[in-house]
Structure 1
Amino acid sequence: MESRTGAAAPATAPARAVFFVSDSTGITAETLGSALLANFPGIGFERYTVPFVDTPEAAHHVARDIASAAAQGADPILFTTVKAPAVAGILSGTPATRIDLLRGHLTDLEHALGVTASEQLGQYHGVANTERYFARMRAVEYAIEHDDGQSDRALDLADVIIVAPSRCGKTPTTMYLALHYGLLVANYPLTDDDFPTDGLPRAIAPHRARCFGLTTTPLRLSQVRHERRPNSRYASLAQCTSELRMAEGLYRRTGVPFLNSSTKSVEEMSAVIMQTMHLRA
């Protein structure tokens, strides 16, 4: 294909293969690696998460996959959280740019603490703190019970109550805060029945100081709702515009802080909520 000037149009670069390889669940490798990749929004990535690579046999299997990906184009990017030297050595021999997400940090900690790091696998994903683990599980149960305004029981215990029209990101943000930080989070949907009103809906009005609102753009909300209920009034641009306008007016009248979720990830929204509401995990 040629451009109007007669020069060949630049071809779209193929997605770069990225491997997140861990001797445990892969959560740390994927989270930290993705945070680094987010700094390069103009590049496409094809991502592969490979957990529980804790033996040489498993490492050789991943090495073959990496070599296969390398044969298709540019060398893959390899993020690892692998502690065993034998396993790490196999991965370091692959045709990939390897970024060890543990090595430098563990060395720094060893120097600071004056002890050598344990070689036991996957401890950073284990239940090292039983009390904290069960707190997160209780938080998840609380979030499920209080999802979408299903229950108003024990709302006085909530660390935060997320308020928003349907499909603005209440549930995923609620679950992220519960699972990752052990916070007790409820969420409440604003519907046509909640307007017009000067104050918050009756169920959450006594807890205004714990409320945090979400909003988005009418077009984005309409697109998301069309996936759920195509060509419905619920998904119409006019309905979405009206609900968002009323929700934002309610937030301002009642002094509820709020955030536009249209261009933010769940992680970003959670960070803003925790900072705004002065919450600590």
Structure 2
Amino acid sequence: MQTDMQSRDVFYVSDGTAITCETLGHVVLGQFPFKANEKTFPFVESADKLTDLLKEIEASYLRNGVKPLVFFSMVIPELRQQLLASHSYSYDVLESIVQKVQDDIQMQPKPKLHRSRSVSRDSDKYFDRIAAIEYTLAHDDGITLKGLEDADIILLGVSRSGKTPTSLYMAMQFGLRVVNYPFIEDDLARMRLLPEFEIHRHKLFGLTINPERLTEIRENRLAGSEYASNEQCLHELQTVEALFRREAIPYINTSSLSVEEISTRVLERTGLRRRLL
């Protein structure tokens, strides 16, 4: 039986993608000092899928002796009521906001399944978002430097400093075309920008990280390697940060930031606008 509050099962449930539930859940749980054992259940839009979810909730309750936390967004009344009757502490992430808006504008809401991910309202924006994701994947980790003129932003940094997850988050959530490039040994030896980046200086943004944190991340990938050594990590970071300062490239330290926080701070510093559906 789970006897302390150092960890807790947390489920994110939605009849859509569950991204909203995850985002709001992370913000809320960030206020509490316990480890969240998280699991996401998107597209719970049928009785069969709900049954599978309820089995997971019951198993968690029996295993730990405490109710799991469930952050959910569902519009089908029957499924919603069954979830609320389960052995869980369940929180509708939109209920209080929708009710407040309803009271303020005196208009009855009309819940619709998948409304938040419908493409019919503005298909051009939807397909722009898909194009941004495809572009970002094609330009991940320095795969190619062709087509930089189409990039909204170019993220630079040493390997494992958070470039790839930040790039993908910015593409998926904000519809931005992102290039990310890891400085390799040749770059560090030259200590100067690649010619391809010179004409796109206004798009450059750097990510850095504390040496200790970088060593920890690299050790998890290649334990005992030169790549993960304290000396190598410190050398790379000192070299790259010196380059950022000399070339007047704005940069932030990602050590204690979530990918959501990194992305938002990058947008704030650069003035880029979100392209939201």
TM-score range, shorter chain: 0.7 to 0.9
| CA deviation after TM superposition for structure 1 residue 252, in Å | 0.6
Alignment match, 1:85: 77
RMSD of aligned residue pairs (Cα, Å): 2.3
TM-score, normalised relative to structure 1: 0.86
**Matching of residues 41-120 of structure 1 within 5 Å:** 42-56=33-47, 58-71=49-62, 72-112=64-104, 114-120=106-112
Distance 2:134 2:210 in 1: 31
Q: Which amino acid aligns with 2:95?
A: R
Tell me which residue corresponds to 1:8. none
The 8 Å contact of residues 158 and 236 in structure 2, kept in 1 or not, is answered as yes
Separation in 1 of the partners of 2:226 and 2:214? Answer: 13
Unaligned runs of 5+ in 1: 1-10
Q: Are positions 1:168 and 2:161 aligned together?
A: yes
Structure 2 CA distance, aligned partners of 1:130 and 1:114? 30
Q: Is the 8 A contact 1:199 1:253 kept in 2?
A: no
- Which of 52-61 and 174-183 deviates more? 52-61
Residues 17 and 159 from structure 1, CA distance in 2 versus in 1: closer, same or farther, beyond 3 angstroms? Answer: same
Residue pairs, 1:178-189, within 5 angstroms: 178-189=171-182
For the 8 Å contact 2:156–2:182, the answer to whether it is kept is yes
- Alpha-carbon separation, structure 1, partners of 2:99 and 2:89: 21
Counterpart-to-counterpart distance in 1, 2:150 and 2:250: 19
SS at match of 2:200: helix
CA contact (8 A) 1:168 1:214 kept: yes
% identical equivalent positions: 35
The corresponding residue for 2:209 is 216
Structure 1 residues 233 and 46 mapped into 2: Cα distance closer, same or farther (>3 Å)? closer
Structure 2 counterpart of 1:74, which letter?
V
1:206 corresponds to which letter in structure 2? I
* Contact 1:82–1:102 (Cα < 8 Å) also in 2: no
SS for the counterpart of 1:204 is: helix
CA drift at 1:114 = 4.9
Q: How many residues are aligned here?
A: 270
TM-score (norm 2): 0.87
State the structure with more CA Rg. 1
Q: How does 1:1-281 map to 2 (within 5 A)?
A: 13=5, 15-40=7-32, 42-56=33-47, 58-71=49-62, 72-112=64-104, 114-127=106-119, 128-196=121-189, 199-281=192-274
Q: Is the 8 A contact 1:199 1:205 kept in 2?
A: no
